[in-house]
Every structure is written in C-alpha cells, then in structure tokens.
A = this chain, B = another copy of it.
Amino acid sequence: MEGVSGNKYGGVLRFSRDPCTRVAETVDSPSRKPRADAERNRLRLLDTAKAVFGEKGPSASLEEIAREAGVGIGTLYRHYPTRDALIEAVYRNETGQLAAAATRLSEAHPPVEALRQWLLLFIDYLGTKYGMAAVFGSVTGGTAALYAACNSGTPEAIALLTGRAVASGEVRLDMDPIDLLRAIAGVASAGPGWQDTARRLVDILIAGMRV
C-alpha cells in the first residue's frame, strides 16, 4: 500500500497560495511543460524529509535534509518555502490512508466501534510511521491553525466518525473531535510503551463519552 505514493500529476502542477488546496491544480496553462528534474528533486526531498523527520523529529535540520537528498539548500526552499510546508507535505502524504480508512471502517462497523477502531489505527500510525508522533505533536502544538483547517482529510475523517457515533445516540461529545486526537497525541512519545497507554486512553475516552 505504500506503493501508492502517487504524485503523478498529469498536467502542469501549480501550487496555489492557499495551503488547503495546494495539492494539485492542473491549470489551463499557455505555458510550458514542467521540468522533469524539478519534479525529481521534489520527490527526493519529500522522501528524504520523511526519513529524516522520522529519525530526528520535526526539528531536524533542513540543511541536513537537503544534503541527504543531494540538492542545495536553495532548492529545498524553492519547493517548500517554509519548514511547515515541508512537514505538511510529509504529513499529508502519510495520513491520506488514515482518512481513507475512516469511510471503510464506518461502513464495516457500528458507529461507536468504528470510531474506536479508527482511533486505534491513529495510534498505530502515530507510532509506526516514521515517527509521526513527534511531527503531529509539533503540528498540533505549533503552527497549528493552518493544519486544523486542512490537513489531508484527518479532521473530516474524525468528524465523520464522531458524527455518526453521536447520531446513533450512544455517545455525546461537546468539543471539537480533533481534540480527541490531541489528547492521544499528548500521551504519545512519553517513553517506550506509550502505545499501550494510548490504547487505554481510547477506552477511557469512549467510555467517558457514553451517555
């Protein structure tokens, strides 16, 4: 499933100013075809960033990432003008599948159980995928507002699941569901074995939401 890392854009790739729609807008362009080397560099940077962030956390040196990717620092900044842009790109890439799982789970399970399953999945991703825990932590804690609005469907995913669960009448939730994720992420990276703790926290949270 990792193979689907699809960044094959058909036409001209444009980055809009709005981060939410930054993914891929094929613009009716009178201009020329995008250069192959640029796209190559972008992908190399993304891969390298994923690895390095996973290894050293989201505050890893951007110079190191550029070096490791075999490009100049200027090239990194050309593709990802800010550290957040780069983190977001990695993050988006990683969580796309999480979002996809939301619809799948919500079709295969009763509402509350689907939510529970997805939260457990979220923990797995947090832990096993390239140290995303730290990245997510920095994202929620740090330059948060941006991501809260628009990261790769995660908010939509959990909104869907909690919406269904609440609609079923079994649970109640008077806060932004994404704060559930923040709570879980807060427990993460608290030392080895945090995943068990996080899983217990999920049970506590769901039990606490029951009417």
Contact = CB atoms under 8 A, between A and B. Distances in A.
A137 interface: yes
Contacts of A4: none
A163 interface: no
A187 interface: yes
A145 B191 contact: yes
A3 B42 CA distance: 48
A186 B187 contact: yes
Interface string A178-194: 01001111110111000
Contacts of A141: 134, 137, 141, 189-190
Interface residues of A, number: 32
B183 A201 contact: yes
Interface stretch (A32-40, A46-54, A75-83, A203-211): A203-211
A144 B190 contact: yes
Interface of A: 134, 137, 140-141, 144-145, 148, 174-176, 179, 182-187, 189-191, 196-197, 200-201, 203-210
